[in-house]
Every structure is written in structure tokens, then in C-alpha cells.
Amino acid sequence: MFIGHNPQARPARTRLWILCAPPGTLSWGRKVPESRYSRQIIFSGIGPEGQAALRRSRVLLVGCGALGSVIAEILVRAGVGALAVADRDYVEETNLQRQSLFTEEDCRQSLPKAVAAARRLRAINSDVEIAEHVVDVNPETIEPLARPADLILDGTDNFETRFLLNDAALAWEKPYVYGGCVGAYGLSIAVIPGRTPCLRCLLEQMPPAGSAPTCDTVGVIGPIVHLVAALETAEALKILTGNLEKVNRRLVSVDLWENRVLSLDLSGMGANPDCPACGRRRFEFLEGERRTRTDSLCGRNAVQVRPAGSANLDLAPIAQRLALQGRVNVNEFLLRADLGEFEIALFRDGRAIIRGVRDADEAKRLYARFIGA
């Protein structure tokens, strides 16, 4: 059926032709190299020169969960020269629904995500140099990771680390591709220092603790993970193959459940002179001024997490989200959530006491997972 046309004017049978060039040739007969990358090389946007540039490139991927595992696999299959994967978390059963590099065996072994990812990636393409880093990426650890890279890719789940990556990209003039998703919604932007707005130009301030939903409070579906990862890696391929003029100058957002695709044109925007990061060159997150602080509470098997900056939280919506995970009690001063193996007491100023954790890194991970900033 042809919508908007008279069906009688069309043939009763419609034929769809799918044209494929013979193996080893373009459609007009020119020979191409027979290799694992041949289908990528014959794509006019990449070609032999772009593939060679990709082979020379070095990429830092921070976060190897949902987005990161998909991004890593696409880049390794594409033939990136070297990929450094940095992640502080380990594989859990709830990851398997959307984190496509991992298996039940990784979960049974509680393998660090960076380690499990590196094993799988080496099996996919042994020609790519893979470096795994089981590390919390913070102002003390980021420089040796980011300095050698030609590109920084975002697979993280919290804005403190994202603003840190943004600072590092600007300070050391590295392209940075941001992406995020939750529920069925996701978005992505590419940051080219000196040419495009940076993440802080667009967001200005880090969202307050508890103001944004997380995958652990509202869920996430696999398709949005793969879509946002595809958006990020498409920009990565453009950058790494030297096609900067093709980099998307739009912020793209997609809601797969509500069938909405929106884009904000940033082509007329450059670096904002009033932006603390790219305008004033004040790298507060890279210099550690805005770093989340933690304190171990002696004798209580608990860690206190104090986010950077001040907050005045509305505890009611946070309590509603956490009630899906366990028992929650809330009053005008704080909420307490019993989540099984651990307990979170969250105060209106954003401070939380997390019981049942082994160390500060685990407390920070749980804070980002359940509170969200």
C-alpha cells in the first residue's frame, strides 16, 4: 500500500531490490583489500586513509557498564588501535540484562567489569591493544589515563565524573563524547575543545543529589542503551578518522517509549566565555575542588558521603523511588532506606550515611546508584 497515492496506479506486486557489490569490489568494479575491515573501508566516509587513522588512534573509555560495554565492542570490532577501559565496579546479575559484554560466569566470579570486558574484547579482536584499569577515575587518577588518549568516551553513571572528563578534555585538548540514558530516554553530544560548547556550557551546574532518576530507581531498557552507544561511537568514528566537519553539532535526545526524537542545534554556539570550564578555564573538577568526600564512621561499619556543594533536597520523590527497592521511612529531616545488605540514611543537605559497606569506594558507588548524583 502506498500512502497518499492511488493503489490502482501502482503495480499489483512491488519488488524490492537489494544491491550488493561482489566480494572484494565496489559497485563500479574497483578492487578493495580483502580484510576484516573491508566493509568499513569501502564506506566512502572512512576509506583506507580513515581506517589507517583509526588503527593509529588511542581511546579512553571511562565506565564499562551498559553504554561502555556496547561502545567498547563497536570500537574494537571497527579496529581502533588501542582502547583503555577504566571502571571501578564489578559484574552483578542485574547488569546482564543490558551490559552486553558480560556473562553469568563473570557474575558468578564477581569479576571487575574492566577485567571481564578486556577478556571478551581480546577474544573479539586480538589486533587491538586493550588496557584494563580497575580504578575510580578521579582527579588523582585521570591524568595518566587521559593524557595519552586521542579521544575520551563517556560510559559513566554520575555527573561528578562526567564534569571531570569534561575538564580533562578541555585542559588537555581532547575531544570528548558524552552520553547518558535511563528508562527509555537517552541523549548524547560531542565536545570538540575550542569549536563546540562543552558539557558545562549546556548544563552549567551539576544536578543536585537526588534530583535525577537512576537505572536502579526507574529502570532502563536495552534498546536505549544500544541506541545511545551507537550515537556516541558514530561521533567517535568521525573524530578518529579525521572527519571533524561531519561531527554532529546537535544535542540529540531520544525517548523510545514515547516515540520522541529531539535535537538542539548547537552549530551557532561556540565556547561560552562565561562558562567556568571552557570560557574561564577554571577546572574545578579536575583540580579536585568539587570532588565528593567520604568519611569512614569508626565502629559503625558505615561511611558518610558528602557531595560537593550544598543542597536542599526534597526527600519525598527520592523516598518514592527507593520504596521500590526496600523499606523506607522519611520525615522532614531525613529518610532511611533498608535495602537488604545495607542501609542508607539521606539528609536534606545531600549527606548520606551508608551502613554495611566495606570501603569509601563502595559507598560512593551506592550513592551514585541510588541517590543519583
Active site residues: 215
Mark residue 356 as left, alpha or beta (left: phi above 0; alpha: psi -120 to 50; beta: remaining). left
Residue 194 vs residues 1, 17, 142, 270: alpha-carbon distances, Å: 50, 45, 21, 7
C-alpha cell at 230: 551507537
Residue 240 vs residues 131, 151, 174, 210, 235: alpha-carbon distances, Å: 19, 8, 11, 36, 9
Largest CA distance in the chain: 83
Integer Cα distance of 292 and 206 in angstroms: 12
3-state SS, residue 291:
coil
Integer Cα distance of 110 and 117 in angstroms: 13
What is the per-residue burial (b if ≥16 Cβ within 10 Å, else e) of 180-214? Answer: bbbbbbbbbbbbbbeebbbbbbbeeebebbbbbbb
Integer Cα distance of 114 and 121 in angstroms: 10
